[in-house]
Chains A and B, each alone.
Chain A
Amino acid sequence: MTALTDLTIAEARAGLAAGDFTATELTEAHLAAMEARAGLNAYITPTAERALAMAKTSDARIHAGQAGTMEGIPIAMKDLFCTNGVRTTAGSTILGTFVPPYESTVSAKLWDAGAVLLGKANQDEFAMGSSNETSAFGNAVNPWTRAGDPDTTLVPGGSSGGSAAAVAGRIAMAATGTDTGGSIRQPASFCGIVGLKPTYGRCSRWGIVAFASSLDQAGPMARTVTDTAIMMGAMAGHDPQDSTSAPVAVPDFAAAVEQGVKGLKVGIPKEYRPEQGLSPEIDAIWAQGMAMLRDAGAETVDISLPHTKYALPTYYIIAPAEASSNLARYDGVRYGLRVLEEGDSLNDMYCKTRAAGFGAEVKRRILIGTYALSAGYYDAYYLKAQKVRTLIAQDFKAAFDGGVDVILTPTTPSAAFPIGAEIDDPVTMYLNDVFTVPTSLAGLPGLSVPVALTSEGLPQGLQLIGRPFDEETVLRAGRALEKAAGFTAKPRLLEG
């Protein structure tokens, strides 16, 4: 029999419904695995007691025939989601002891659907990073290692690195992530799992610690496209408490998954090509993906997204600008860390608290953002970036208006890299997001699906981009890739 921790959500739901095992057993198996693989450092705050209590409630609901769509499914919750009574750190010292008295909308929806909280997942500090190395709680570890090089520890990607490591390492059946410029898709690609950044406005941001408000979106991370779709259904929905949440109906994502891609037009943007610096290996995997979709009945067409090259610099103006303002509330006055010595002024308290509470990358982005918004620079940076953002969104719109149903690109320009390899070079680190950032700026749904192993034996994902609020087509295409790729490789950590 397959280990309980290896089951997909779909399989686990069937097993729970059939009485093959209980939610408590399923949770216990995961808690045991969490202890066994504590070295992944995937969790900042494990919540074993709460998990068992929630699993018990799920068993009762299953018994009573009241099971929700995620009933009894043990998941990891990124530590950016505020959880009532459970410490929520955002990966930062400044919130190191913060326990919210409220529950984020998305996590509340998941609990309503029956999901079980295994713990709060590690992440880059305030979701700023692409390797999980900016976490104040140490980096999460990628369960994958290079073939023949088991001793070199690799990053899980970021910022939702703990979530990806937990799902790939079979210490969560699925996890929530948040994606601002690629924080779901890039770690999903690095860890060989599926990750969906929904359309901006699909999930409520209420109760999620803000990084860049106009870009932040919550989304599911799981091991299959179907699991991703199931979880997406539980997370999505309009929330009147979030003015940017869209009042649109939530479709049956899971039902859309198996609809196939026959007749779909798949756009292949030339700006992501090797001529623009893409490695031949990733290009080859991309070509495999195109072939898989064509074999499944889709048509691939060349498209152009001419402003792609401006996306990264545009993102690194807008996101830090918003962050510099969003993070002003961490001032030591009302909650979180306060550093104050006898005789200190208010300004002393601000400086000392924020100096001690924020890490280097967060400080760097606050400085960049503050600069970009300052008088005399606003027009040249922030305003210009907003205009370019509009052009980037128009690129996508033109492609979709031209009849393309979905766009296929690599998720990342490379596979997972060793811990420490890029952390001292922010620009190289930022390049990790080069393929995911345009989608974020345009607010479109983007899905990463693992399709192959690189020559180093590491997973590589491809990204599918859809029209606004058309996650269904993205998931359909993702499922076609998944089927064709038959990606069954497991991290060597698990092969023992």
Chain B
Amino acid sequence: MDATPETSYRLRGETGDWEVVIGLEVHAQVISTAKLFSGASTTFGAAPNSQVSLVDAAMPGMLPVINRACVEQAVRTGLGLRAHINTTSVFARKNYFYADLPQGYQISQYEQPIVGEGSLVLDMPDGASRTVGIERLHLEQDAGKSLHDQHPSRSFIDLNRSGVALMEIVSKPDMRSPEEAGAYLRKLRSILRYLGTCDGNMEEGSMRADVNVSVRKVGEPGLRTRCEVKNVNSVRFVMQAIEVEAMRHIEIWESGAEVEQETRLFDPARGETRSMRSKEEAHDYRYFPDPDLLPLTFDDAFVDRIRATLPELPDDKKARFIADYGLTPYDASVLVVDRKEADFFEAVAKGRDGKAAANWVISTLFGTLNKRGVGIEDSPVSAENLGKLIDLIADDTISGRIAKEVYEIMVETGGAPDAIVEERGLKQVTDTGAIEAAIDQVMAANPDKVEQVKGGKEKLLGWFTGQVMKATQGKANPGMVNELLKKKILG
């Protein structure tokens, strides 16, 4: 494992080059039908305060009861992060007052989380892999939502989210560039989605990141003071926030001042971070074990049962794609990001040339999906048809060029490629006689060019190929055209 990855990312200051040190705390909403400690529903977008149980509203005398499904999801996620699972963990109360925190405390895990150390592999754009350490994963309740913009003098509270289960996934400070932080978030999201433990939708707030940033001189041992940028809600903003926060630190250090440890907020509109609260203003959360809950315990068999249901995860799938389909690491990592896309690719590639399949899926199909703004599940071209199209190229029924045309028709009509080729008469012409006839016509019309080729200007052969293809509406087999042209003109 490579805990301190090599990176070339450097920020240039007046006093030299700086390195940025990044750790991420990701809050991932657990996919479950009910909340962490109550039976209330967790559906997104319901009418305000319509999904609030007596427990969620912290009515007097109400008590939390752990939702087993959420525990399973946390263990599942821990296994997906190759992490140590703690068969005993403890829920603690994090005490602070806020209007959307009904109990006056958040039930979280503090000293004894359900999941301990693990790791996550980053797939970098250059095809390289880097490992980032996972410090811990713990379960906790989400708070409600305060709405300050509904009334000129009042604030409204929506408790639908109050009590919803979150996994807080804490990385080690192992990342050294905004790109790595972005890759970390994308990879984590990919794993969570594979596992079905979090939908990873940052825009709906079901995945949010707190970013810890510090800087140090290149080669400097130890870490300098860090700041925490809270609640950043997109991969792009996380990357931007790191850059501007790191630059802020460098300016402070280089001015001879000291960076103060504090919590900050990122303002994407202004492209800056600003102070939320200083160390002095930091809450004293008065953590203590929640006396309403017994320690959370389960046995190894419980963990093993969950382990047995894990899907093949992105890293394993990527390795298999490279081995079985001969893909490049980069192509494989692109294809495995989304489990449905990976499945689609495999359906296309099975029994065919894997590289060709990968090209079609990545370069052509993903482009179509992007353009249409739809996911793989709404692909206008089925895996079966895309596979057939590749078959038609492989057995010389159509040329690559015609294939693109057929593909466009498939996108428009959803039709099968063989039928389209048949109906529209796009079959490749491999009849030597027909091709020779076309060549003869072109030669007859361009005697001067024929002479030039014969005189040694063989580059012009390409022009002839184009003319012949044009004459056959692209249906002639280009290889045969080339061969016959050479034979006819050069003898």
Q: A95-B60, A328-B97 are contacts. A243–B102 as well, Cβ < 8 Å?
A: no
Question: B286's contact among A95, A325, A329, A347, by CB below 8 Å, is which?
Answer: A325
Contacts of B284 in A (CB 8 A): 374-375
Within 8 A of A (CB), among B119-146: none
- Pick the most buried of B58, B61, B97: most chain A CB atoms within 10 A of its CB: B61
The answer to whether B63 and A241 touch across the interface, beta carbons within 8 angstroms, is yes
- Determine whether A207 belongs to the interface, using a CB cutoff of 8 Å to chain B: yes
Chain B residue at minimal CB-CB distance from A201: B294
- Determine whether B95 belongs to the interface, using a CB cutoff of 8 Å to chain A: yes
Within 8 A of A (CB), among B265-324: 284, 286-288, 291-294
Q: List 20 A-B contacts (CB under 8 A).
A: A82-B60, A100-B59, A102-B59, A206-B61, A206-B62, A206-B63, A207-B62, A212-B291, A242-B63, A243-B293, A243-B294, A244-B293, A321-B288, A333-B157, A334-B57, A346-B99, A373-B95, A374-B286, A375-B284, A378-B286
The answer to whether B61 and A243 touch across the interface, beta carbons within 8 angstroms, is no
The answer to whether B63 and A329 touch across the interface, beta carbons within 8 angstroms, is no
The answer to whether B288 and A328 touch across the interface, beta carbons within 8 angstroms, is no
Q: A214-B291, A333-B157 are contacts. A350–B59 as well, Cβ < 8 Å?
A: no
Give a binary string over A189-218; 1 marks a CB under 8 Å from any B CB, 0 the rest: 000000000000000011111101110000
Within 8 A of B (CB), among A437-480: none
Question: B102's contact among A322, A333, A374, A382, by CB below 8 Å, is which?
Answer: A333
CB distance from A240 to the nearest CB of B (A): 7
The answer to whether A329 and B292 touch across the interface, beta carbons within 8 angstroms, is no
A100 to B58, CA, bound (A): 12
- Determine whether A21 belongs to the interface, using a CB cutoff of 8 Å to chain B: no
Contacts of A95 in B (CB 8 A): 60
- Determine whether B65 belongs to the interface, using a CB cutoff of 8 Å to chain A: yes
- Pick the most buried of B65, B95, B292: most chain A CB atoms within 10 A of its CB: B292
The answer to whether B63 and A325 touch across the interface, beta carbons within 8 angstroms, is no
Contacts of B64 in A (CB 8 A): 243
Give a binary string over A305-333; 1 marks a CB under 8 Å from any B CB, 0 the rest: 00000000000000001101101110101
CB distance from B28 to the nearest CB of A (A): 24
CB distance from B293 to the nearest CB of A (A): 5
Contacts of B65 in A (CB 8 A): 240-243
The answer to whether B291 and A205 touch across the interface, beta carbons within 8 angstroms, is no
- Determine whether B177 belongs to the interface, using a CB cutoff of 8 Å to chain A: no
Chain B residue at minimal CB-CB distance from A81: B61
A244 to B295, CA, bound (A): 10
Q: A244-B294, A329-B104 are contacts. A82–B61 as well, Cβ < 8 Å?
A: yes
Contacts of B95 in A (CB 8 A): 324-325, 328, 373
Q: A243-B294, A350-B97, A373-B288 are contacts. A335–B59 as well, Cβ < 8 Å?
A: yes
A100 to B54, CA, bound (A): 10
CB distance from A216 to the nearest CB of B (A): 9
Contacts of B155 in A (CB 8 A): 346
A210 to B286, CA, bound (A): 19
**A210-B60, A329-B104, A334-B58 given; 14 more Cβ-contact pairs under 8 Å:** A81-B61, A240-B65, A243-B66, A243-B293, A321-B288, A325-B288, A328-B95, A333-B99, A333-B157, A350-B97, A373-B287, A374-B286, A375-B286, A382-B288
The answer to whether A329 and B103 touch across the interface, beta carbons within 8 angstroms, is yes
CB distance from B147 to the nearest CB of A (A): 14
Give a binary string over A76-109; 1 marks a CB under 8 Å from any B CB, 0 the rest: 0000011000001010000100101110100000
The answer to whether B288 and A329 touch across the interface, beta carbons within 8 angstroms, is no
The answer to whether B60 and A329 touch across the interface, beta carbons within 8 angstroms, is yes
CB distance from B261 to the nearest CB of A (A): 15
Tally of contact residues, A, Cβ under 8 A: 44
The answer to whether B60 and A100 touch across the interface, beta carbons within 8 angstroms, is yes
B-side residues, CB < 8 A to A, are 54, 57-66, 93, 95, 97-99, 102-105, 155, 157, 284, 286-288, 291-294
The answer to whether A328 and B63 touch across the interface, beta carbons within 8 angstroms, is no
CB distance from B111 to the nearest CB of A (A): 11
A88 to B61, CA, bound (A): 11
A214 to B63, CA, bound (A): 12
The answer to whether B60 and A88 touch across the interface, beta carbons within 8 angstroms, is yes
Give a binary string over A109-137; 1 marks a CB under 8 Å from any B CB, 0 the rest: 00000000000000000000000000000
Within 8 A of B (CB), among A49-82: 81-82
Chain A residue at minimal CB-CB distance from B61: A207
A30 to B64, CA, bound (A): 38
A100 to B60, CA, bound (A): 8
Within 8 A of B (CB), among A206-242: 206-210, 212-214, 240-242
Contacts of B60 in A (CB 8 A): 82, 88, 90, 95, 98, 100, 209-210, 329
- Determine whether A370 belongs to the interface, using a CB cutoff of 8 Å to chain B: yes
Chain B residue at minimal CB-CB distance from A206: B63
Contacts of B291 in A (CB 8 A): 212-214, 244, 322
CB distance from B200 to the nearest CB of A (A): 31
CB distance from A344 to the nearest CB of B (A): 11
The answer to whether B288 and A102 touch across the interface, beta carbons within 8 angstroms, is no
Q: A205-B63, A208-B61 are contacts. A325–B99 as well, Cβ < 8 Å?
A: no
Give a binary string over A392-423; 1 marks a CB under 8 Å from any B CB, 0 the rest: 00000000000000000000000000000000
The answer to whether B288 and A331 touch across the interface, beta carbons within 8 angstroms, is no
CB distance from B325 to the nearest CB of A (A): 50
CB distance from B40 to the nearest CB of A (A): 14
Chain A residue at minimal CB-CB distance from B66: A243
A103 to B52, CA, bound (A): 18
Contacts of A104 in B (CB 8 A): 61
The answer to whether B61 and A205 touch across the interface, beta carbons within 8 angstroms, is yes
The answer to whether B103 and A328 touch across the interface, beta carbons within 8 angstroms, is yes
A335 to B159, CA, bound (A): 14
CB distance from B42 to the nearest CB of A (A): 19
CB distance from B37 to the nearest CB of A (A): 9
CB distance from B149 to the nearest CB of A (A): 16
Q: A207-B61, A240-B65, A243-B292 are contacts. A328–B157 as well, Cβ < 8 Å?
A: no
A311 to B294, CA, bound (A): 23
Q: 10 tightest A-B contacts by CB?
A: A328-B104, A213-B291, A373-B286, A214-B291, A329-B58, A207-B61, A209-B60, A375-B284, A82-B61, A208-B61
A335 to B57, CA, bound (A): 10
CB distance from A19 to the nearest CB of B (A): 39
CB distance from B199 to the nearest CB of A (A): 28
Contacts of A334 in B (CB 8 A): 57-59, 102
A207 to B63, CA, bound (A): 8
Contacts of B287 in A (CB 8 A): 373, 378
Contacts of B97 in A (CB 8 A): 328, 331, 347, 350
The answer to whether A325 and B93 touch across the interface, beta carbons within 8 angstroms, is yes
The answer to whether B105 and A328 touch across the interface, beta carbons within 8 angstroms, is yes
Chain A residue at minimal CB-CB distance from B146: A346
A329 to B54, CA, bound (A): 13
Contacts of B93 in A (CB 8 A): 325
A346 to B95, CA, bound (A): 17
A95 to B60, CA, bound (A): 9
Contacts of A333 in B (CB 8 A): 99, 102, 157
CB distance from A228 to the nearest CB of B (A): 24
- Pick the most buried of A205, A324, A333, A335: most chain B CB atoms within 10 A of its CB: A333
Within 8 A of B (CB), among A322-373: 322, 324-325, 327-329, 331, 333-335, 346-347, 350, 370, 373
A98 to B325, CA, bound (A): 68
The answer to whether A210 and B288 touch across the interface, beta carbons within 8 angstroms, is no
A328 to B286, CA, bound (A): 12
